[in-house]
Amino acid sequence: MYQVPDQQGKLGVVTGANSGTGKEAAKRLAGAGADVILAVRTPAKGEQAKAEILAAHPGARTQVRRLDLADLSSVQDFADSLIAEGRPLDLLLNNAGVMNVPQRTETANGFELQLGSNFLGPFALTNRLLPLLLAAPAPRVATMSSGTANRARIDFDDLQSARSYSPTRAYAQSKLADMLMMVHLAELATQRGWPLLSAGAHPGYTRTNLMTSGPTLNGGQPGLMESILYKIVPSQGPQQGAEPLLFAATSPTANAGDYYGPRWGMVGPAKPVALPRPGRDKSAAARLWTEAERLTDVSVPA
């Protein structure tokens, strides 16, 4: 098991920290001494996760704050509250997501739900928190992508899947967008001389409610093939699945722009893995960043 290095004195934000890899990452960070903000859409579920963390680590310093990544006003409120407090932010773990929503659904801002929740919300959050991140001595942004991004592409002509919607294709595009965001943020940090380390991860085939919560939205049901694959494909629990993200966020050997995943693709301990070809397209990353700035009306602070 990956041992998270000492995080005493550090402040971290983990999105989607009420379950799955987010809860596990928050627990391990808190156990290593970090002050951890559980950023969750439903505070009651966040409080349940906090209770579990405190049961495992009675001295843990955690707090629950509401954050709905599908609503840019919620993102702004969350960021504004932290900025008002003024404490530098050492770690941002962009973990939360939604997967394979059966019917095209829109966020409060009119974005396709998977693109909005998985990419545009985290994009706005990361940019709004940059002043606090850059006030920390060695800040990190760790962003969770997915193996599905390996076969994805960014459809700039139909980014919101308005003309043609596929649950799996929209999900894969959103996770490739996360990967490209990570890559471009690392590029910006180098260009501007920031001390920020931006790295990415994927969880392999990890058993979480992500696999069932998205497909059952709007009365949907997981497809037969999905149900069969869930049972026969090698998989792992959140404890192992969170390790690539934790490695990106805390390992002294992690590097800017690097990508981490399970040793054997679907399962196994965390290790550096190659960015897939779509994730190495820096021109697409820059174009997507500019488009995300336009859509969210949020950009890198001067």
Burial (Cβ within 10 Å: 0-12, 13-18, ≥19) of residue 86: exposed
Q: Using an 8 Å Cβ cutoff, are 168 and 148 in contact? A: yes
d(CA 63, CA 283): 39
Burial (Cβ within 10 Å: 0-12, 13-18, ≥19) of residue 2: middle
- DSSP-assigned beta bridge partners for residue 66: 40
- Is 2 one of the annotated active-site residues of the chain? no
Catalytic residue, chosen from 2, 171, 230, 260, is 171
d(CA 273, CA 200): 10
Catalytic positions, please? 171
